[in-house]
Structure 1
Amino acid sequence: MFPRSLKAVLVAALCLPAVQAAAAEITLYEHDNFNGRELTLREATPDLNRFNFNDRTSSIIVRSGAWEVCMDAGFRGGCRVFEPGQYRRMDGMNDRISSVRRVGRDRDDGPRGGRRDRDSVLQLYATTDLRGRGESVGRDTPDFTYIGFNDRTYGIRVLRGTWELCSDANFRGVCRTYGPGVHNDLGRGLAGRVSSARRVDRFDRNDRYGDEPAYGGPGAGSGRPAVELFTGAGFSGSAIALNRDVHSMSEFGFNDRASSIVISEGEWQFCEHEGMGGQCLVLGPGRYDRLGDLDRAITSVRRLR
């Protein structure tokens, strides 16, 4: 028989590998295509100087979890959220990353001094530099009075999805939408006046999408398309507008043709093979004038939420 104290140590040691396997993990590489020095992280790191890796990252592999990487220490500056996948180049952020942390469900931390919410996807701050007391929101909130944050928001961090913020309760008044990232200027009529917020990137998978590669024409459908793919870099050439998953772009004659993308809402995954196979890239709302390794190599597309 083992002494009780020794038995406890042995049990903990046996359980440790399983716990570590479940932990979120991201690896930063010094050069493109996962070359050079590497640094693997499993917890929030507000300053990469700690590992002598500040402003050195040129490619990333996210093995589990969703991670926010920022260009300034303390999770400030320009930030982007990366889902599991391989990112061979850090377009727009190359050699500029200074802080990294897990976000979304089971993330490492919430707003400084604010309430910790495991399902938070929107963080509200009373200052434009995202310091001080904050509040977390994980669902549609028609009146900020009930969370004690009415007319106090000056800056936000969107961890996931696309959110509409409004100056009046019940999503009325001046309203604007914000995708993933840091937004420290909410604009005139909204800064310091936010009273309600709701997620707006939910969608109907039965929405129609175009079958003609003509931007602004029949391919755009009857409403604003969620995704537009262009044959040329810089949003040039012919295009196709999508509002739902596509198993193979061959059905539209658009396989291996996309060189730039505009995403109006939601988070989307783009892959080089049919059925979301091969190398994939995850992008949120924004304009992507070049696609790196997936330039003219996209075959399938799906919405992640």
Structure 2
Amino acid sequence: MASNKIFVYEHPNFTGLSREFTENVPDLQDFNFNDCISSVKVIGQPWVLYEHTHYRGEHFFYEEGEYPSVEWQDAISSMQQVKEDLKNSANKIFVYEHANFTGLSREFTGNVPDLKDVSFNDCISSVKVIGQPWVLYEHTHYRGEHFFYEEGEYPSVEWHDAISSMEKVKEDLTNPQITLYEDSHYGGKSITLNCETNLCFGSFNDQTSSCKVDRGAWVLYQHEHRGGGSIVARAGRPCPTVGWIDNQVSWARPLKPGRPKITAKLLWDKKEENTKSVVIDSICGLNRGKHEQTFSSELSREYEGSVTESFNFSNATQISVGMSFGFDIGLVKSEVNVSLSNTFTVEKGSSNTKTEKKGVKISLPATIRPHTKLTVNVVRKEVDVKVPVKITIKSGYSYSTEYGEYRCQAGNSILAEYQEEDI
């Protein structure tokens, strides 16, 4: 029996028709179960449920557990199992008993509905967050006052020794959008926001009574400049009223995703290679006599060889300036093998070009035979290799792919070719 599976149900609370799946489902119409999922149970690896077929549109992440009501009911058209190993998840939180990261500590990568279960209730005073934001709650099962923490280190939390549950933000935070409404239950005039906004600069200050988060997770503040009390509103979670902050919202901002994880892979099967030989020096000697004579006063000459590596991003890159990643090179597979460092490191915003130069010594012949013209051509073999690079960007639970190009121009293979003519 497969250990990784999902059970989907037609109605909330695991009722109505149901199906069990152990593999990806690009189109639920193929199983007569399109747009009719309202609750799920996940065993093993997490699953991602998508609004449209073939893993497109809005998507929702479900780790192992039981979910009596999904975010978007009757709106799922495809499902994908998360295959990556999450034991070393890049999204985690470290919690500490005392301020400044001292005392007992714990590490968590998944939601904690009750900190009593792990003997850490009402004793958190500082936290460190890696990756996606986390929300810490006053009471168990994600109730009461709550505080959000984006990626970073917090030597002191807002409420010491008062946290009883924690929830990881799983929404895609890369393209946020929220609509604020003047009246409760999404009535009256509205305003749609896509970035952090000071409502005091417009006509919607202190007028919000309800909201819909289309994408991401948002924090609504009582005062401008992120001041006063706040609430967190999230995609797929109805907010027909904003509660105590009704008609008091002056500032709104989206939660930021953690630093993206970037991986890159060279696509050797799509390599382009050009090789040419270039004469960089020619030395000629004539011996019209009957005896051998010296070819040159020099026994050897030294020439400069070089290897230049570079990387170019695509025009529509989602990678921000300052982000860096590396990929394995090993040995460039070309007619002339060029040994390189094992890893080429790329940083957005820098030149991403490096050149290594070295001297190559070429020995010259000592003598010329009688009645002979001897020509020594010094030839550099130049190899130009271009390899596409597939770049995968993981931001929270969202993946995107783009491409760049790695290029290696090698001219460090230098040799001498002899030509003799009788005269």
With the length of structure 1 as denominator, give the TM-score of the two structures. Answer: 0.36
Q: Which has the larger radius of gyration?
A: 2
Higher share of residues assigned helix: 1
